[in-house]
Structures are given as C-alpha cells and as structure tokens.
Amino acid sequence: MKSRRLTIPYIIWMLVFTMIPIVMIGVTAFTDKKGNFTFEPFEKAFVYSNVFVKSLIIALISTAICLVLAYPLAYLLTKMRKSSQRTVVMLLMIPMWMNFLLRIYAWMILLQRNGPLDTALSLLGIHGTYIGNTAAVIVGMVYEYLPFMVLPVYTVMSKIDPGLIEAAQDLGAGNASVFGKVILPLSIPGIISGVTMVFVPSASTFLVSQYLGGTDDIMIGDVIDKIFWTDENTGAAISLVMMVFIFVFLVIMNLFGDEEAIA
Amino acid sequence: MKQPEKKTVVSLRDIFVRFDGEVILNHISLDIKEKEFVTILGPSGCGKTTTLRIIGGFVSPENGDVIFDGKCINELPPNKRNVNTVFQKYSLFPHLNVFDNVAFGLKLKKLPKDEIKKKVTKMLATVDLKGYEKRPVSKLSGGQQQRVAIARALVCDPEIILLDEPLGALDLKLRKSMQLELKEIQRQTEKTFIYVTHDQEEALTMSDRVVVMNNGSIEQIGTPEDIYNEPVNAFVADFIGEANILNGTMIDDCRIRILGKELECVDKGFGKNTQVDVVIRPEDIEITTPERGQLTGVVESTVFKGVHYEMSIMCGKCEILVHSTESAAIGSTVGMRVIPFNIQIMNKLLPFYDNVIETTVTYSNEAENSFAFELEDETVTVPGRCYPEGTKLKITLPPDALSLAGDGVGDLKDVYIESVVYKGEHNEIILESDERKWLMLSDTDEQVATYVPLSFDFGKASFETLDAGEV
C-alpha cells in the first residue's frame, strides 16, 4: 500500500506534463482561432508536406550515418581495456556538456567560406561551398546525435557474455561468423534504442538547419518554431502529424526488434 | 587378457601458463587416450579449468606443446580444433531456440538442411529433449539447459568433448542422475570426455582415470581405485574421500610408528627412521576391546549416518575418525585395529619440518635489542635479540611459530596457501612465498588457493650463528 502512495506524485506529474498537454495540442489542432471544431489547421499543415518529407529523409539519413559510425566504434570499445573504455566514453560525452548552440556555431565557423575546412581544401586546389546545404545540416545533426547512438549500442554490446563468443568459436565460428551469428543479433536491442534516440529528436530538430542549411533546407521543427507564434492551431496540427509519424516509426522499429529476437 | 594399447588423442607436454606474473600451470604433462573418460580434479584455483582451456584453444601456453593426433596445435584457434566444450555456465545462445542452438555448429559446417535436421533431432532424443526444438532456451530449467549444451557439443561429432564443471549449478539429486546419464552418453558415443570438477565423489563415480591437481601441478594420475587406495601424498588422501592422515616414522621396511605405537605395514623402500605421512581410511579401522586394540582411545562423539556410525575417537591429543557398523558409548575407552595392508605410507609433502632461514643481519639496533634481515625483498625485524650487522645467521622456525597475520600486515605479504591437511591434532598448512615453501600449524581451517599475510613468532625460533665460510 505504501509503495502505491509513493507513485502519486509521479502520476500527477505525468497528468500535468504529459497527458494534459497532449490533449491540449489535440484540441488546438482541431479548432480554429475562435475555438470551433475544424480540419482547417490540417489543411494548412498540408502545405508543408514537402518539408515533412524532407525532415524525415534528413533524419533517416542522419540516423543511418550515426549507426554506421557508431556501431564499429561501440564494437571496438568493447574490445579495449576497461580503463580505456571509460576514457573514450568520457571523450564522447564531453562535447555534450557544451551548449548546443555553441557547437552549431563551431560548425558554422568550421564550414564557412575561408574557414578552416575551406582553407585546407583550397591548399589542395579544391574549391567549394561547404555550408548552406543539406549535407551541412546532416553533418551537424550527426555530430549532435552520435553519442546517443554510441552509448546504447555500446552498453548492450558490452553486456554480451564473452562466454557466448567462446561458445561460438568452440563450435567452429571464425571471426566473421562470431560477429554475424552472435554479436550482431544480440546487439539489436542496442541498435533499436540508439536509432530511436537519434531519429526522434533529429526529425523534429530546429536551428541546425537554420544555421547550417540553405533556404530550402528548412525542417519541420523550424516551421513549428516560426508558425506557432502567429497560428498556434496550425502549429499544433503539424506537431500532431509529426507525433503520428514518430509513433508509426517506433512501432515499426519494435516489430523489427521482436522478429529478430524470435528468428 | 591384455587389451590392445589405446591410441593417445591429445597430449600436453610441459605446459607452462602465467597470468599477470602468477603461475597458473607449472610445467604439466598429460596424455589422454581415445574413448577415455578423464576427470581433472582439484580445489578451485588449482589450474584445472585453465588446463581445459588450453586443450580447447582459449589459452595459449607460454611454454610447452599441445599435441593432437600427433600434430602440435599450439597455434590452431578454437574454431579449427576438433574439440567441443560444454561450458560451466552452459553459454547457450539466448537469441536462438533449442534446435538452432544445437544446430549452430552444423550450420557453420554448411551441412545440407535435411541432414542437419536429422542429426539435431537424433541428438535431442539422445539427451532426452525430444519435442523441445522450438522452445527458447531461456524457458528451460537448469537441467534441460545443461542437456542442450551437451547436445550442442556432441552433435558436432568431435573427437574430444571438454566439460567444465557442467553439473555445478544443478541440485544434488539432478546432479546424481546427470552423472550417470553423462557416463552413459560417453559409453554410447564412444567419445573422449575430459571432465573438470572439484567434486571428488563425481570424479570417482564417472571416470576411467582421475588427474588430481593442486597449485598448478599434477599430484597424481590414476584410476579412481588407485587414487582412493594408494594416494601418493597427504594432499590427495585428504582431497579424496575421508581419511585419517597422521605423522609417522618409518622405522624399517614394513615397520611404522604412529601415535607412539609400532605397527606392521606393507610398504617398503622409505629408508630407516624416515618421517612420513600415514593415511588410514575411517572404514578400515576395526573397533575392538581396549585389550585387543593396537591403539586405544576415548570415544568423543558418535553420529549415525545410515549405513554406519561415524565416530570421533581421541587417541591422546589426536583425533581419529572411524566408520563402523557398531556403535560405542561416548566417553568409553575402545581399542582400534588396522590390518597392515590398509596402512598407506606416503612421502611427506615437504622435505623439511622446521622452516630454516639462512640469512645475514642487515641492521642491528642495540638500544632496542633487535635486529633485522632481508627476506624476499621485505625487511623482517626480530625483537628481543641483537646480532652485529653482517652476522651470518641460521634461524629455525618450528611450524607453530608461523601464523597468518591477524592485523593484515605480517612479515611476508601475500603468501599462497597451497594445501591444508588435518593431521588429527592440527591443520598442517603448506604455504608458498615467492622463493620457497613454508610449513605452518594452525587450529583454524584456511581457504586453499588464497593469498594471506604471514607472520613469524621469533620467540619460538632458535638462532645459530654461522661461520662466514658456511653461507
């Protein structure tokens, strides 16, 4: 009985900060400025469908790049000595202690015309523009979210019983088979939580595209950021559609995970 | 009828293994024959699992060779060896079901699907798991997981199966039935089984041959009967079954003195007046009237054990354990008889009794009446005595002058407990420091294969100055 009483503050918290806001967003999305029921905000939101698609594509690409970069790193990490593992994880975390905006500014400086990258490549005779395009946005996002991919994958991988790897070797598995038949399938839960932790925030991120992207690299987060102050109904509708997309994505991810666990 | 000599499948030659400077296997050699059930038996930390891992290919020796079918396979990785292991924690793949776990090795061999299915089904029937194919391994009981692990190793049809304490996690009843089942599987499949355990009863029940290990060395190799009846030393006698191990003096061939009495025995060749260890199994002692007894003692306790009574009889200060179908009243005086054949004589584990240190005084303090010397890179201070610096000294420490430092500091840090043998009155503990061994008497039971600090009571020591030329 006592333990149930202890959960009351949390239940209130979830009511006030989760349930009520969601209901409010839902109500706002289906009403006009005067509070009448309407589908109008969704019609307005539909105008931004290309931004939706682009946001999801950018988020998917960033997530994929994060996974490709993080997975081998996590794998190599588990092979290191315990003390080195801690050091590398620490080094991964340190940039995250710095303010988000500062890190984006740093990338602006790195990528700008006559910035370090431009200067270096010019010396090699390569000239180009490295900022104000989709690639720069993706670079920024990958940089931003890479630790969120590395940590869950590394955590799951480091918990794989070394005895299982020995058992696989004992049964005749070479390095490739040990990886493909034991390490990869057992690290899927880490991949799923890593992908979720990167995809969800990167799909609705803002500012990164404003600072690093070009005029047509505007993302749905930026649209909500702009529109909410003038038309909160449309803003709410866009958020709601985004939530549905993310929900569908999570369901698909989890299905994939379950299948792997059974197969 | 003489059996044809069986061929040797695997031999270890002079294997030496060290982890972090600590010697794990100290030059061991071992031949294992085909179709043999060999058990490597020893206390935890004795190096038995490492021996198995050497054969499996998970540990490479610093020195020595692993010979498999006449070829040296030191460099061969585990996946290329015709050996499969049943691991201590089973190590079943949690993401695969029973069928896929067992089929794992066969799939790697790229066997056709229907052949894999046939072999796995047959193997699951052998280990009594028919119909469990689709179950996830996490839903199985300990005993079932155990059998999946055995099936997974056996189905690959290796020449040798290595089993690392495979029954350790099971309860007693299940363990007993699995022992018989394993032995039966071994007989049916005609494979070589190398089995590691610390359970002496398990070793005696299942094995064709037992290898007793302690502190990185092999103490004895033999059939269960040999090991039980003819232990080579007090460690083996103490480890296998229950035994009375006593200090004795071999007066002459076939004459032994124990507990102040001279008895007849059958062992020869120990020389005259040699200090030896004597083992007498509790069931080999016959209780008689005091007049008829070779030894007499007072019954201290008696416990009914079903088949027999277990009695503790005090012979002076020495406790003797007797298993007898007849009981005797507590406090009564009884006689004990042993036939010569049942008195087993063994060489002492150590060639000395008193611990002798020969050293040179490195520091002398007349004001405090003490001196110090160097021992294995540590300075040992001796109070209550003073010798000038540079004096060559022989210090004799009887075993009761040694103790494990209660304060955790001690004169020598980190001394390894090699063996603890109860001699009826005290435990005789053999310790190993960096450069030598020590004999200590103790009334408490110490944990073998652990590191402890050792301190010396120089009040019980005797000192002798040596001429400069002698050291």
The shortest C-alpha distance from A84 to chain B (Å) reads 19
Structure tokens at A71: 């997975």
Three-class SS of residue B399? Answer: helix
Residue B432 lies in a domain: yes
Cα–Cα distance for residue pair A96/A148, rounded to 1 Å: 10
Residues of B in contact with A164 (CB under 8 A): 91, 93-94
DSSP one-letter string for A25-67: HHHHHTB-TTS-B-SHHHHHHHTTHHHHHHHHHHHHHHHHHHH
Give the tens place of pLDDT for each residue, A2-26.
678 889 999 999 999 999 999 999 9
For the segment B295-320, the average pLDDT, to the nearest whole number, is: 90
**Short-list B210, B225, B146, CA closest to B181:** B146
Residue B469 has pLDDT above 80, yes or no: no
Structure tokens at B436: 């030598």
Residues B191 and B248 in one domain: no
- Interface contact flag, B95 A167, Cβ < 8 Å: no
Residue B225 has pLDDT above 50, yes or no: yes
DSSP state of B270: S
For the segment B382-401, the average pLDDT, to the nearest whole number, is: 88
> Which of the listed residues B326, B347, B368 is the one where a domain comes to its end?
B347
Residue B1 has pLDDT above 50, yes or no: no
Structure tokens at B381: 């201070």
Residue B3 lies in a domain: no
Give the tens place of pLDDT for each residue, B326-359.
888 899 999 999 999 999 998 888 888 889 998 8
Residue B211 lies in a domain: yes
Residue B402 has pLDDT above 70, yes or no: yes
Place of tokens 């993401």: B95
Residue A155 lies in a domain: yes
Residues B19 and B168 in one domain: yes
B68 burial type by CB count under 10 A (0-12 exposed, 13-18 middle, 19+ buried): buried
The pLDDT score that the predictor gives to residue B52 is 93
Does A169 contact chain B (CB < 8 Å)? yes
B30 burial type by CB count under 10 A (0-12 exposed, 13-18 middle, 19+ buried): buried
Q: Which of B52, B54, B58, B79 to mutate to test the interface with A (most CBs of A within 10 A)?
A: B79
A245, B127, B160 from B153: Cα distances, Å: 47, 12, 10
> Which of the listed residues B178, B213, B234 is the one where a domain comes to its end?
B234
Place of tokens 């054990």: B305
For the segment B419-447, the average pLDDT, to the nearest whole number, is: 88
Residues B325 and B275 in one domain: yes
> Which of the listed residues B298, B315, B347 is the one where a domain comes to its end?
B347
For the segment B183-207, the average pLDDT, to the nearest whole number, is: 90
Does A88 contact chain B (CB < 8 Å)? no
More confident residue, B39 or B449: B39
The pLDDT score that the predictor gives to residue A95 is 85
Residue A105 has pLDDT above 50, yes or no: yes
The shortest C-alpha distance from A165 to chain B (Å) reads 9
Range with the poorest average pLDDT among A91-95, A255-259, B163-167: A255-259
Residue B425 lies in a domain: yes
In a 13 Å sphere around the CA of B396, the CA atoms on its Cβ side amount to 9
Residue A32 lies in a domain: no
Residue A31 lies in a domain: no
Name residues 125-164 of chain A within 8 A of B (Cβ). 161, 163-164
ipTM for the assembly: 0.78
Three-class SS of residue B341? Answer: helix
- Interface contact flag, A173 B79, Cβ < 8 Å: yes
Residue A20 lies in a domain: no
Name the band, by pLDDT with cuts 50, 70 and 90, for residue B38.
Answer: very high
Residues B106 and B87 in one domain: yes
Residues B212 and B255 in one domain: no
Residues of A in contact with B79 (CB under 8 A): 169-174
- Give the number of A-B residue pairs with CB atoms closer than 8 Å: 61
Does A216 contact chain B (CB < 8 Å)? no
Residue A5 lies in a domain: no
For the segment B38-61, the average pLDDT, to the nearest whole number, is: 91
Residues of A in contact with B89 (CB under 8 A): 161, 163
Residue A25 lies in a domain: no
Q: Which residues contact residue B110 at a Cβ distance below 8 angstroms, ignoring those fewer than 6 apart? A: none
- Interface contact flag, B104 A261, Cβ < 8 Å: no
Residues of B in contact with A261 (CB under 8 A): 95
- Domain membership of residue B12 as a residue range: 8-234
Q: Look at phi and psi of residue B260 and say left if phi exceeds 0, alpha if psi is from -120 to 50, else beta.
A: left
Residue A53 has pLDDT above 50, yes or no: yes
Residue B268 has pLDDT above 60, yes or no: yes
Q: Which of B93, B100, B134 to mutate to test the interface with A (most CBs of A within 10 A)?
A: B93
Residue B1 lies in a domain: no
Annotate B144-209 with three-state secondary structure. Answer: HHHHHHHHHHHCCCCCEEEEECCCCCCCHHHHHHHHHHHHHHHHHHCCEEEEEECCHHHHHHHCCE
φ/ψ of B301, rounded to 5, equals: -155, 155
The pLDDT score that the predictor gives to residue A166 is 93
Residues of B in contact with A174 (CB under 8 A): 77, 79
Task: Round the average pLDDT of chain B to a whole number and report it.
Answer: 88
B242, B278, B383 from B263: Cα distances, Å: 22, 12, 44
Residue B239 lies in a domain: yes
The pLDDT score that the predictor gives to residue B426 is 87
Residues B160 and B309 in one domain: no
- Domain membership of residue A139 as a residue range: 49-262
Residue A122 lies in a domain: yes
Residues B313 and B445 in one domain: no
Residues B197 and B276 in one domain: no
Number of domains present in the structure of chain B: 3
Residues B333 and B431 in one domain: no
- Interface contact flag, B108 A161, Cβ < 8 Å: no
Domain CATH code at residue A234 = 1.10.3720.10
Residue B364: how many other CB atoms lie within 10 Å: 17
Residues B54 and B154 in one domain: yes
Residue B470 lies in a domain: no
The shortest C-alpha distance from A59 to chain B (Å) reads 30
Number of domains present in the structure of chain A: 1
Residues B244 and B228 in one domain: no
Residue A90 lies in a domain: yes
The pLDDT score that the predictor gives to residue A23 is 93
Give the tens place of pLDDT for each residue, A161-214.
999 999 999 999 999 999 999 999 999 999 999 999 999 889 888 888 888 888
Residues B145 and B56 in one domain: yes
Domain CATH code at residue B118 = 3.40.50.300
A165, closest residue in chain B (CA to CA): B91
Compute the C-alpha angle A244/A250/A252, nearest 5°: 105
